[in-house]
Structure 1
Amino acid sequence: MDDRTFRDTMGKFATGITVVTIKDDTGTISGMTVNAFMSVSLHPKLIAVSIGENASLFNQFVKSKQIGISVLSENQKDYSMIFSRQKEEDRDIPYTDLAGAPVIKDALATISCKITDSFKAGDHTIFIAEVIDLDRREGHPLLYFGGSYRTVKKDD
């Protein structure tokens, strides 16, 4: 099978959109849009994030001990596009601190994690991280399906 067929088939699985953020030793915050995110375990509370080894921030993530996860709400599509470099950053991103990790203010959910392990998986690395703190708010998620951003259809 060719790469396009594989990508199109995987695109039939709707995913939420997250932005994974890190802060370096100088305090500079960097991040990237990631839809390969999932919960792994309840005891202990673990999540997994898959990051491509060709990603511009890959080496910074490998060095990082702590990450922030922001689950984007339906009105935060611009943030996803900025962090995936589909759109130039045209405004300041409003960050807040969650237990030492930078997260996007007013995201649907935010999670602060300590990276505990990583595994090479093809051209990606799967990072396993223990949840340190989290926060959530009411609202609807930003979704990705079939190569396009989507939102949840609200019942009337």
Structure 2
Amino acid sequence: MIMDDRLFRNAMGNFATGITVITTEAEGMQHGMTANAFMSVSLHPKLVAISIGNNAKMLNYIKQAKKFAVSFLAQDQQEISMLFAGQIKDGRQYEFARLNGMPIIEGALVNLTCNVVSKYEAGDHTLFFGEVTEMISNEGDALLYFKGAYRHLHVLEEKLT
């Protein structure tokens, strides 16, 4: 069965995801990209996985650095997501915070730094598995992506009487 690329992409868009910015530092330069292809893999050891397109500049940066950071964006960080997705092209530079020597997004819900422990080519992407070396976790609600658009989590709070 031949499946249309647009049909497949639209179907996959029905899976709501959080939004991350993947960062690394290679040859003294900081690099970042927006991604929603992230998952927790293992508790012992603490492993996560990211998926990077084989045509993305970030691929070679992570291969060189052998480490990366992941920032889970908060609902008020949509502009940051758009900047690192290339949707804002005004030439501005982002001022990264640092964690464990790695560039991160300040104010994110979670920041992780990771050492690459393995990588696997899978179709037109490469999966990087990283062992978490440092973590910061903050309170707040996540910025989401669903059906090709940014979404916000609306939590109903019940009052106890």
In structure 2, the residue matched to 1:113 is: 114
In structure 2, the residue matched to 1:46 is: 47
In structure 1, the residue matched to 2:15 is: 13
Aligned-pair identity in percent equals: 46
Deviation digits for residues 49-98 of structure 1, max 9, x if unmatched? 00000113222122221111110000000111111101125654242211
Quick check: which has more Rg, 1 or 2?
Answer: 2
In structure 2, the residue matched to 1:24 is: 26
TM-score, normalising length: structure 2: 0.92
d(CA) in 2 for partners of 1:56 and 1:91?
A: 18
In structure 1, the residue matched to 2:72 is: 71
TM-score, normalising length: structure 1: 0.95
- Structure 1 runs (4+) deviating above 6 angstroms are none
In structure 2, the residue matched to 1:151 is: 152
d(CA) in 2 for partners of 1:152 and 1:98?
A: 27
Unaligned residue ranges in structure 1 (runs of 5+): none
State the one-letter code of the partner of 1:98: L
d(CA) in 2 for partners of 1:55 and 1:154?
A: 35
d(CA) in 1 for partners of 2:71 and 2:92?
A: 18
RMSD: 1.2
What's the secondary structure of 2:140's corresponding residue?
coil
